[in-house]
């Protein structure tokens, strides 16, 4: 890996890296409505590419909700589906916001998140309420959501789209993500990439260890 002085751009993931995410919270929320096997729901939806399509914007929120109803065989109202789906979203600890601000003093700092049109307003509302930040993307030199750009990690096109928008060279860009497949995808796209292993440290500790 290059020394930190050779990076000019830091590309960050959102879920797990900046905002805490608990996927079981969504499962538990559906279970409380009488649907205990969220794993089966997730497997079936994953099988027909529901989540991929939702994350790239080819499936609308209305279509996503209807597909969930079809899989569960239940006429759940939009608000209940959204509440269960958003239950996985946690908070961004203030020290991670401080880290982004500090990194911006030395690097071009970009965000690339695989997310969807139900989660976006939900986590932006959390950040506004808890962190006092009304323009979350404005925290970065550039912020990109997969559902808005129609591209998602780990595809090389997603990384290249973001970097090209900001004149960033993959060879001088460091990508941080908690998903190994995204890290591997970034490396294949020519970026330097670090896997954030959440069991051992958070992004603040990682940045300190890497002397960023």
Mean pLDDT of 29-43: 83
CA distance 134 to 127: 7
pTM confidence score: 0.93
Task: Summarize pLDDT for 51-88 with one digit per residue, the tens.
Answer: 899 999 999 999 999 999 998 889 999 999 999 999 99
pLDDT of 119 reads: 97
Mean pLDDT of 187-199: 96
Six-digit token string for 109: 């700092």
Q: Is 70 exceeded by the pLDDT of residue 1? A: no
Q: Phi, psi (5° rounding) for residue 76?
A: -75, 140
192 and 174 Cβ atoms separated by less than 8 Å = yes
């Amino acid at each position: 890996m290059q020394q930190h002085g050779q990076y000019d751009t830091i590309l960050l993931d959102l879920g797990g890296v900046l905002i805490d995410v608990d996927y079981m919270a969504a499962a538990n929320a559906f279970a409380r409505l009488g649907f205990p096997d969220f794993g089966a729901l997730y497997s079936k939806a994953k099988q027909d590419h529901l989540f991929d399509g939702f994350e790239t914007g080819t499936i609308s929120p209305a279509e996503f909700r209807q597909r969930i109803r079809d899989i569960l065989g239940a006429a759940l109202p939009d608000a209940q589906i959204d509440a269960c789906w958003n239950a996985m979203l946690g908070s961004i600890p203030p020290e991670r916001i401080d880290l982004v601000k500090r990194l911006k003093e030395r690097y071009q700092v970009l965000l690339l998140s695989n997310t969807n049109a139900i989660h976006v307003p939900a986590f932006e509302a959390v950040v506004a309420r808890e962190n006092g930040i009304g323009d979350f993307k404005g925290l970065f030199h550039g912020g990109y959501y997969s559902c808005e750009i129609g591209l998602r990690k780990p595809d090389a096109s997603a990384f290249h789209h973001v970097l090209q928008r900001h004149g960033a060279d993959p060879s001088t860009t460091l990508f941080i993500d908690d998903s190994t497949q995204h890290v591997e995808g970034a490396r294949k796209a020519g970026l330097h990439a670090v896997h954030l292993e959440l069991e051992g440290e958070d992004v603040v500790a990682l940045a300190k260890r890497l002397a960023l």
